[in-house]
Structure formats: C-alpha cells, structure tokens
Amino acid sequence: MGSVTLIIPTLNEGKNIGKLLDLVKDMQVIVCDDGSTDNTKEVVARYSFCTFLDRKDAKVHGLTASVVEGITKATTPYVIVMDGDLQHPPESLPSFVEKLKTADVVVGVREMVASNWPWYRKLISWGATTLAKTMLRVRGTSVQDPMSGFFGVSRKLFLSTNQNKYVGQGYKVLLDLLKQVRAHVTTVPYTFGARAEGMSKLRLAHWLWFLKSLIR
Ligand SMILES: Nc1nc2c(ncn2[C@@H]2O[C@H](COP(=O)(O)OP(=O)(O)O)[C@@H](O)[C@H]2O)c(=O)[nH]1
Ligand SMILES: [Mg+2]
C-alpha cells in the first residue's frame, strides 16, 4: 500500500482520530488540521506513519482547503480522502487501493446509512446530491454520489485541475474535482456510520458554499 496516502481533514477530532488511526494499516497518513483546540495534535503525534499538517495559521480555513493542501503535500501516486470521525469505515480502504489501479477516481458510495442524521439533514443532502448529479451529467459525467467525502484519486489527475475552482471553505472537494474532469470513475459501496464522538461541524454556510461549488 506504499503508493497511497490517506488524507484526513480534522477539526477537534481528538476523541476519534486515535481510534481511526489504530485501524489504518500499511499506509502513510496526512492529518490536515485547521487549528483544533482539543488534543487532536497530541494524539496524532503517537503515530509514526502519520504527518500532522498544522493549518492553524492558514489564510483560508475549511475542509476543502485542508484536503487540497494535503493532497498537494502528498508524494504518492494516489491519495484517499476520508473523514476523521469514523463515519467512513477503514475496512473499505483495501478496496479503494485495488480499484485505484484501474480508475482515475474511486468514489465511496453510501450503500447503507447507519448515521443519526435528522430528517431535514437527509432531505437537504438528497436535494443537494440531485442538483450536483444533474450539473455533472450536463457536463458528461455520471456519478452516483458526487457529494461523497470518501474518495480516492490519482494525484496526477488532481494536480491537473484548476485550484481556483475549489471552494476552500466548503465541504465538497469531490464535486469541485469532478466538475473539471472527464474521469473514469468507479465506486466502492460502504455503510455510512454514525459519528463516533462529538458533533458535526457542518453549518448553514456550508450549503451556501456548496451552491458556489455548483456555479464556480
Ligand atoms: N481541516 C478541517 N476539517 C474539517 C473542517 N470541518 C470539518 N472537518 C473535518 O471533516 C470531517 C467531516 O466533518 P463533519 O463535521 O463530520 O461533517 P459531516 O459528516 O458532513 O457532518 C471530520 O473529520 C471533521 O473533523 C474544517 O473546517 N477544516
Ligand atoms: Mg461526520
């Protein structure tokens, strides 16, 4: 698995990140942290295979900006992006690695949803996914879940995209990538779990940044 770097954006995931890193095997990891005020940094320091990208003084804070910087700093041919709250199962990582050998982009698709999202979050997510899929279809790309935060990509393809098209404060890195390329996309089905500890950092503003992703 030496060809892949795992990119994990974090904001106060001290209670989750250790449990996640305990389950990661044979992979370099970059934790892209946006100035956590808990013990995320201290926990990550215990793992020798893991680099802590400290973005506390970054100009733009956000999940997308963090992931973009992490991928840029990686040195392997492939990267896999996953959340740090255990909603994305580490057991799926070998399937991503295998599929990256033959696809440009591998998208984790929520086959079963075991999350504890309230009904309005499910409704907004469904509406946003429908909008994003329609926008991509118009551009010639058909993807089951372009809103997924769990995906793998070849670094070469990622670096060929226009960095100005990524909405740094937003959450939708994959959408910002797919709107720019005609890629060979394949999928890995997985069960979307409940956040292990703590609260979602998603706010209303993130949906506005999502709309910006659609038009930028
Ligand atoms: N670096 C960085 N990570 C973030 C930010 N917001 C959320 N995250 C991380 O991104 C992942 C997904 O965020 P989360 O709040 O769980 O979103 P949700 O699963 O869509 O509710 C988690 O690992 C968070 O810690 C941010 O502004 N910067
Ligand atoms: Mg989450």
Contacts of 198 (CB under 8 A, 6+ apart): 12, 13, 15, 16, 85
Q: How far apart are the C-alpha atoms of 212 and 207, rounded to whole Å?
A: 9
Number of folded domains that form the chain: 1
Kindly tell me if the per-residue pLDDT of 114 is higher than 80.
Answer: no
What pLDDT sits at residue 25? Answer: 85
Which band of pLDDT confidence, cut at 50, 70 and 90, is reported for residue 87?
very high
Atom of ligand 1 nearest to the CA of 62: 27
Q: What tokens were used for 24?
A: 């990661």
134 within ligand 1 shell (Cβ under 6 A): no
| pLDDT score of 45 | 98
Report which bound ligand comes closest to the CA of 9. Answer: 1
Instruction: Determine the distance separating the centroid of ligand 1 and the alpha carbon of 25, expressed in angstroms.
Output: 22
For residue 185, how far is its CA from the centre of ligand 2 (angstroms)?
A: 24
Cβ–ligand 1 distance for 72 under 6 Å, the answer: no
Question: Strands 105-113 and 28-33, how do they pair?
Answer: unpaired
In ligand 1, which atom is closest to the CA atom of 61?
Answer: 27
Does residue 100 have a pLDDT over 60? yes
Residues, CB-to-ion distance under 5 Å, ligand 2 = 85, 87, 195
Structural domain including 74 reads 4-215
- Judged by its nearest atom, the ligand closest to the C-alpha of residue 55 is 1
CATH of the domain at 60: 3.90.550.10
Is 148's C-beta closer than 6 angstroms to any atom of ligand 1?
Answer: no
What is the chain's mean pLDDT, rounded? 94
CB contact set of 145 (below 8 Å; sequence gap of 6+): 107, 108, 109, 110, 129, 187
Ligand showing the shortest atom-to-Cα distance for residue 171: 1
Separation of alpha carbons 116 and 193, rounded Å: 8
The predicted-structure confidence for 130-153, as pLDDT tens digits, reads as follows 999 999 998 888 899 999 999 999
Q: What is the pTM of this model?
A: 0.95
**Pocket lining: 32 vs ligand 1, CB cutoff 6 Å:** yes
